[in-house]
Amino acid sequence: MSWYCYAVAEFAPENPAKGVTGLRACPVSALSAAGLTALVSPVPDEEFDDTVLQANLEHLPWLEEIARAHHAVVDEASRRTGVLPLRMATIYRDEHRVREMLAEHSAKFIEALRRVRNHAEWGVKVFAALRNAPEEEEPADGRSYLRQRIRQRKARDAGTDEAIGVAERIERELRQLSAEIHRHRNQDPALTGRADRNILNLACLVPDTSRDRFLARIEQLRQPAEAGIVVEVTGPWAPYSFAGIS
């Protein structure tokens, strides 16, 4: 039996995840040391051993199950108190090792928890429907084929430039309303399953006091909707993208 760690919070006398169910239907407990509390639950070694874990991560249903269970714990705890989520699959062999980890990084954890206190992460994604080149007649010969290809590429590039310009403007505006901003890699069309393309994938750390202004600004940015541009917001998230303690 090992301990799977979901998140770290400032020390709380009562378990901030009381009544929350973690992986494999085990209750989430609180382990405290050095002014901090780690949220943990037991996991079987045979499933979370180095080599097995490595292989399991390539197996989508397993990955999804762990991701959703991890998030459920972090999300519930973050509604009750300020937490720093840990990277998925952070596992220690016993309680003593969890407490050692807290003590070893306590100054950095406390600094990071203060930084994200009373803030939430919001996800903002911009999608662009890249313009299709106009339908043209079948080229009569090699030369007209080449001309047609060049025209099509120019039309496509102009559409891309325009979309990127819109995305940059949105990022600039949101930066002013955010304490910090992090750009995630753009999502692969195979994962979004959408015909339009993800051209901006932001995480914004927003003070709770600016939340309404932030969301209102996004609504404004959407209207009037620019041709083919879709802005999506998710959140509030626990500060996953702002949990660096280095």
Partner 1 sequence: MGPVLVRGDLVSAAVEQPDRLALVDLLDRLLAGGVVLTGDVVLSVAEVDLVHISLRALITSVREGRPAPW
Contact residues: partner 1, CB under 8 A? 2, 5, 8, 48-50, 53-54, 57-60, 63-64, 67-68, 70-71, 79, 84-93, 97, 101, 105, 109, 112, 121, 123, 125, 127, 182, 184-185, 187-188, 190-193, 201, 203, 215, 222, 225, 230-237, 240-245
Closer by beta carbon to partner 1, 95 or else 162: 95
Closer by beta carbon to partner 1, 18 or else 97: 97
Closer by beta carbon to partner 1, 93 or else 147: 93
Minimal distance in Å, beta carbon 123 to partner 1? 6
**What's the CA gap between 83 and 74, in Å, rounded?**
8
Closer by beta carbon to partner 1, 19 or else 61: 61
Closer by beta carbon to partner 1, 157 or else 232: 232
Please state whether the peptide bond connecting residue 189 to the residue before it is cis, i.e. omega within 30 degrees of 0: no
CB 174 within 8 A of CB 186: no
CB count within 10 Å of CB 241 equals 19
Q: How far is CA 240 from CA 23, 61, 70, 101, in A?
A: 19, 22, 12, 19
Minimal distance in Å, beta carbon 230 to partner 1? 5
Minimal distance in Å, beta carbon 52 to partner 1? 9
Of 25, 15, 37, 9, nearest to 69 by C-alpha is 25
Minimal distance in Å, beta carbon 238 to partner 1? 8
163 in helix, strand or coil?
helix
Closer by beta carbon to partner 1, 50 or else 141: 50
- Please return the burial class of 219, using the count of CB atoms within 10 Å of its CB with bins 0-12, 13-18 and 19+: exposed
**Which run of H or E residues covers position 125?**
strand 119-128
Angle in degrees, CA 124, 163, 155, rounded to 5 = 155
Closer by beta carbon to partner 1, 48 or else 77: 48
Q: Which two tokens stand for residue 37?
A: 């509390």
